[in-house]
Structure formats: structure tokens, C-alpha cells
Amino acid sequence: MTKFLIVTFLNFTQSLLFAQETKYWTLKNCVDYALETNTEIQRQQVDVAMKTTGVRIAKKERLPSITGYSNVHSIFGRSQDIFGNIQRNDNLNSNMGLTSEIMLYNFGALKSQARKSKLETEIAELEMDIIKRTVTIQIVQAYLELLLKQSILQTHDSAVTNAHSLHMRAKLTYEAGSTSQSELYEAKATLVRAQQEQAVAKLAMDRAKLNLAQLMLLDDHSQLLIKFDAGTNTFRLPNSLSESDAYSASYIIDPKVKQIGKRLLENEMERKIIRGDRHPRVTGSATFGSTYFNPFAFQQRLGNFFTQTGNNFAQQVAITANIPIFNKGQTRLKLKQIDLSRVGIELDEQLQKQEIRKEIQQILFDFRSNQEQYIHAKEVLTYTEKAMEFAKKSYEAGRSSIYDYNNSRNNFIQAQNAVLEARYSTIFSYKMLLYQTTGSYDDE
């Protein structure tokens, strides 16, 4: 008795630990995991970091630059002076110092360049949002597809159980002599067909699970267990939501539209930078340094290195203005290119909004048609189930054949599958409409 209790306790503990280790993936878990592991998103994050560094570089261009210089050179040999005398001219020269330069005026090109770099960063971030949006839609679709295949498999599991019971009953009644051999074979054939359809449904579910795991970059798709209530049986849009409202909401949150808006601002900054080529650029500079000279041929020295460095110390302050006069018309042509580029960006914006309108129209059409099909499919399922129950009672009472009951049972299974397909199609359309108009696939 003691051994039995110990074994029972160990089995219970093992089952409890297994249940604790089992992880069920919700839709949000799958989306978050996919966004975290997606390599394309990670690559875009690196690009955003690079663009952010570019912003810092552009802002620091406003600061003065300071450089140090030092030069030492020596001359050996003979040379001719201005009087025609040839003599040796061996000497050692050196100079050193600091020089600094700062931009005083360039028609705001540095400021425009900094703003352009910031816009490039925001465009890169929106590109990452576009990738995340695509990945999210793929995950939602694959997740609901897996739920559909799992539900269909459950209907086939039920069908196999029912077919097995039918076969056992036919076998018993055949042995009792109240059922013909043809009905026994028909019951056996029904069981085999149900098992075959069950296997096909199992393969479809495994394929859907593999597809979702691949999108998530999950190595072992066998660990992907989902348990999710897809929602209620009714999916009603707010009464105030019209197509025009859906368009407006989608325009506001769509990352591609936002990105195009940033591209227009970037185009404006680029235009200001190019216009700066028509204006003078003024720079200020300051130099602090000293020189040293040592003529080897002279008996009298000019002073040692430290003495000369102190005596020859000098400062220079300068303001330089570069005034453009003629640059072969390049500025005018570049401005024309920028204007044409802006026209192209505006056309891209119109195309994107047209694409959004088409997507919203398609989603609304799919949602309403799927919802209508779902309502009709549920009605068909109700009456098909009643017909199957009557057929079952009639068969068990011996007033109808197994063929009539199998036909009724098959109609019921088809009706169940139709309800499931319509239901999950409605859910997907509903979530896509939410995602397009609110940026979230969950209505909670």
C-alpha cells in the first residue's frame, strides 16, 4: 500500500511539473516573439542607430574645429642668391601651432543639414514600423489559420469517434444476425474514410503550425501550443464607423503615409541646402604659432629653440568669404531635380492613399460578406444537426439504412467546417480592420 501511494504521488508530481512547463502561446505572445527575433527588424534597428549617430555628427558641425600642426625640415647643399653668389645654404626650419576654424554664415546650411539628418532617422524608424506591420499581419493570419486547422481537426476527431461507435454497433448487430454484411462493410468503410480525413486534417494543422513557427523563427515547431478563444460569435463594427472615417483613421496611423510626409520635409531641407550654394559662405579662422630657424653656416647663432619660439610667437585672425559667381548652372539643375523629386513623392502619397482605400474597401467587403456567411452557416449547422439526430434515431430504430445516416453525418461535418471557416475569416477581417484604423489587432 505504501509503495502504491509513493508511485501515485510521484506520477502526480511529474504531471504537475509537466503542466507547469507547458507554455501556451497567445496571439500577443506570437507577435511579440516574432517582432523580437525578426532579422530584418534587427537590421533596421542597426540602420536607425547609424542614422542617429549621423544626427549627432551633423549637429557638431556647428562647433569650431581645432587642429595642431608641427613641421620640421632641413636643407643641405649649395644655392645661388639674388646677387649671383653661389654658396652653401644648410639650415634647419620648423614651425608649430594651433589653428581653429568656424563657419560664420552659410545660409543656414548646417542647420538644414542637421534637420535633414534627423528626418532621415525618423524615416528609418518608420521603415522599421512598416516591417513590423507586415510581420504582425503575417503572424495574425498564420495564427488564425492554425486555430482554424485545429478546430477542423477536432471535428474530424469527433467524426472518427462516432464512426468507430457506428462500426462496433454494426459488428455486434451483424453477429446477432440483424444487420446485413453490406452494412457492416459500409460501417467499416465509414471508419476508414473518417480516419483518412482525420490524417489529412492533422497534416494540414501541422503545416499551419510549421508556417507560424517559421514566421516566428521558432526552431522547434512542436513546442508551439496555442490556446486562444478567438472571440464571441458576433463581430459588429461601431455604428459611427464609415468608409470615410476608416480612410481618415488609416491615413493618420499608416507608417507609409507618415514616411512620405517625412520625405517631403527632407526634400524641403535638401532644397535649402542646395540654395545655399547661391549665397556666400563666411568662415572665421585663428592661428597661433611660432617658427624656428637654424643656419648651420653662421658662426653667430640666432638663439636656441626655446628663445626663438618665444620671440617668433605670432597670432593671426582671418575672415574668409567665398562668393559663388559661376558654377556651370549646377545649382539651378539640382534645384530642378529636387522639385521633380518632390512631385514624385507627392504622387507616391496619392498612390499610397489609393492603396489604403482599396485595402479598407476590400477588408470591409470581406468582413461583411464573411459575417453574412457565418450567420447563414450557423443556421445551416443548426438544421443539419437536427437532421443528423433524427437520422441517427431512425437508424438505431431500424427504420433507415446506414447510408442515410452516413450521408446526414457527412452533411453535418461539412456544415461544421463551413461555420469554422466563416468564423475565422470574419475574425481575420475584423482584426485587420482594427489594425488598419487603430494600429492594434485587439479590440480590448
| CA distance to 135, 213, 215, 393, per residue, from 33 (Å) | 11, 10, 10, 50
Residue type, 103: M
What are φ and ψ of residue 94, in 5° steps? -155, 155
* Confidence label for 80 from pLDDT (cuts 50, 70 and 90): confident
pTM of the model: 0.82
Judged against a pLDDT cut of 70, whether residue 444 lies above it is answered with no
121-147, pLDDT tens digit by residue? Answer: 999 999 999 999 999 999 999 999 999
Determine the average pLDDT of the residues in 106-123. 94
Q: What is the pLDDT of residue 305?
A: 73
Residue 27's Cβ-side half-sphere holds a number of Cα atoms within 13 Å equal to 22
- Residue 175, C-beta contacts closer than 8 angstroms, at least 6 positions apart: none
Judged against a pLDDT cut of 90, whether residue 358 lies above it is answered with yes
Judged against a pLDDT cut of 50, whether residue 71 lies above it is answered with yes
Q: Which tops the pLDDT comparison, 93 or 428?
A: 428
DSSP string across 347-409: HHHHHHHHHHHHHHHHHHHHHHHHHHHHHHHHHHHHHHHHHHHHHHHHHHTTSS-HHHHHHHH
Closest CA to 380 of 415, 426, 422, 336: 415
Determine the average pLDDT of the residues in 353-378. 93
Cβ–Cβ under 8 Å, residues 334 and 278: no
* Confidence label for 17 from pLDDT (cuts 50, 70 and 90): very low
Q: What is the pLDDT of residue 39?
A: 95
**For domain 32-63+106-279+324-438, is the CATH number 1.20.1600.10?**
yes
Q: What is the pLDDT of residue 295?
A: 76
Q: Which tops the pLDDT comparison, 243 or 355?
A: 355
> What pairing do the DSSP bridges indicate for beta strands 225-226 and 24-25?
parallel
Q: Which tops the pLDDT comparison, 442 or 335?
A: 335
Determine the average pLDDT of the residues in 48-76. 90
Determine the average pLDDT of the residues in 254-278. 95
Q: What percent of the chain has pLDDT over 90?
A: 58
Determine the average pLDDT of the residues in 1-25. 54
Judged against a pLDDT cut of 70, whether residue 231 lies above it is answered with no
Average pLDDT, the chain: 86
Rounded distance, CA 116 to CA 34, Å?
A: 32
Judged against a pLDDT cut of 70, whether residue 409 lies above it is answered with yes
Determine the average pLDDT of the residues in 90-104. 88
179-202, pLDDT tens digit by residue? Answer: 788 888 888 998 999 999 999 999
Judged against a pLDDT cut of 90, whether residue 262 lies above it is answered with yes
* Confidence label for 10 from pLDDT (cuts 50, 70 and 90): low
* Confidence label for 1 from pLDDT (cuts 50, 70 and 90): very low
Grid cell, residue 292, equals 624656428
Cβ–Cβ under 8 Å, residues 370 and 430: no
**Site of grid cell 516573439:** 33
Pick the most confident of 181-195, 197-211, 221-235: 197-211
Q: Which of 183-192, 219-228, 266-275, 365-374 bottoms out in mean pLDDT, i.e. has the lowest?
A: 219-228
Rounded distance, CA 153 to CA 143, Å?
A: 15
Look up residue 105 and give its DSSP letter: E
Rounded distance, CA 373 to CA 315, Å?
A: 88
Determine the average pLDDT of the residues in 346-361. 95
- Residue 11, C-beta contacts closer than 8 angstroms, at least 6 positions apart: none
Cβ–Cβ under 8 Å, residues 285 and 318: yes
Q: What is the pLDDT of residue 88?
A: 75
- Residue 424, C-beta contacts closer than 8 angstroms, at least 6 positions apart: 144, 145, 147, 148, 151, 230
